[in-house]
Amino acid sequence: QVQLVQSGAEVKKPGASVKVSCKASGYTFTSDQMHWVRQAPGQGLEWMGIINPSSGSTTYAQKLQGRVTMTRDTSTSTVYMVLNSLRSEDTAVYYCAKGLIVAVAWGQGTLVTVSS
Amino acid sequence: EIVLAQSPGTLSLSPGERATLSCRASQSVSSTYLAWYQQKPGQAPRLLIYGASSRATGIPDRFSGSGSGADFTLTISRLEPEDVAVYYCQHYGNSPPEHTFGQGTKLEIK
């Protein structure tokens, strides 16, 4: 079955960067796109961007342009999300989610806490 | 940019009742690109409905979606205690590709 396993929780200081990984299994890694979605404490879902694991092409939410980078490693079926210049409002649970039009499978989430 | 407005913000009903959740888009959208997700406390979201009215794999037939244009509805018939969750509608825009989520409806069971 499809599984998306994300890296563990992170605590970062303001201005730092964070890298979250999402390892896929149970399907052909390059056959479907991967989104990143985040959720601040007690808030709703915010779409961050999408990566095509086959080509590596990306599209980012306008709000995060210039601060977020999504990459993939086809040899390990893993996608990565790097968020730079962290601020307190970036504190959230970050999810990877498989699919294009809809997110049919989700990772377990990675809590990123930004605090001085 | 499409904006999705969900109502009500919170819905409190008794077991066995019917829940009706609304999602209104800021402009007409293709029903192909409208989906609903369920997020239980402490869990990742789960796909319920895609294409406005098709149930995802393993979703009970108590859940149904309908609507077109700018108005969409998620209906949960015969509420069960396990249905306590926040429900989000979502739209996929394909030029460029992006996802938009509604702000969510919290469903409470009395």
pLDDT tens-digit map of A3-53 = 999 999 999 999 999 999 999 999 999 999 999 999 999 999 999 999 999
Whether the pLDDT of residue B88 is over 80: the answer is yes
Asked if the Cβ–Cβ distance from A103 to B97 is below 8 Å, we say no
Q: How far is A17 from chain B (nearest CA, A)?
A: 24
* CA dist., res. A9 & res. A36, Å (int): 16
Contacts of range B23-27, beta carbons closer than 8 Å, 24 or more positions apart = B23/B67, B23/B71, B23/B72, B23/B73, B23/B74, B23/B89, B23/B102, B24/B70, B24/B71, B24/B72, B25/B70, B25/B71, B25/B72, B25/B91, B26/B1, B26/B2, B26/B70, B27/B2, B27/B70
Nearest CA in chain A to B43: A108
Average pLDDT over residues B8-17: 97
What is the rounded distance in angstroms from the CA atom of residue A66 to the CA atom of residue A42?
A: 26
Please determine, for residue B68, whether its predicted confidence score (pLDDT) is greater than 90.
yes
pLDDT of A105 > 90? The answer is yes
Which token pair is B55? 């149930």
B54-77 average pLDDT score: 97
Q: Residue A58 gets which letter from DSSP?
A: E
Q: Which of B44, B99, B102 sits opposite A109 (nearest CB)?
A: B44
Cα–Cα separations (whole angstroms), residue A59 to A70, A102, B20, B93 = 9, 16, 34, 12
Q: What is the average pLDDT across B79-107?
A: 93
Nearest CA in chain A to B103: A44
The per-residue pLDDT for B96 is 75
Reported confidence tier of residue B93, pLDDT bands at 50, 70, 90: confident
Best probe of the A interface among B86, B99, B106, by most A CBs < 10 A, is B99
Confidence of residue B37 (pLDDT cuts 50, 70, 90): very high
Flag if A104 and B102 touch (Cβ within 8 Å). no
Give residues with Cβ within 8 angstroms of B84, minimum separation 6.
B40, B41, B107, B108, B109
User: Which residues touch A92 (CB under 8 Å, ≥6 apart)?
Assistant: A38, A39, A40, A41, A43, A46, A111, A112
Residue B83, pLDDT > 80, answer yes
Distance, in Å, from the CA atom of A6 to the CA atom of A9, rounded to the nearest integer, reads: 9
Distance CA A52, CA B53 (A): 27
Does B44 contact A at CB distance below 8 Å?
A: yes
Give the whole-number percent of chain A exceeding pLDDT 90: 97
By Cβ distance, the residue of A61, A104, A107 closest to B44 is A107
The mean per-residue pLDDT over the stretch A45-62 comes to 95
Alpha-carbon distance A31 to nearest alpha carbon in chain B (angstroms) = 17
Tell me what the mean pLDDT of segment B45-60 comes to: 96
Is residue A91 within 8 A of residue A47, CB to CB? The reply is no
Q: What does the pLDDT read at residue A11?
A: 98
Band the pLDDT of B95: cuts 50, 70, 90.
confident
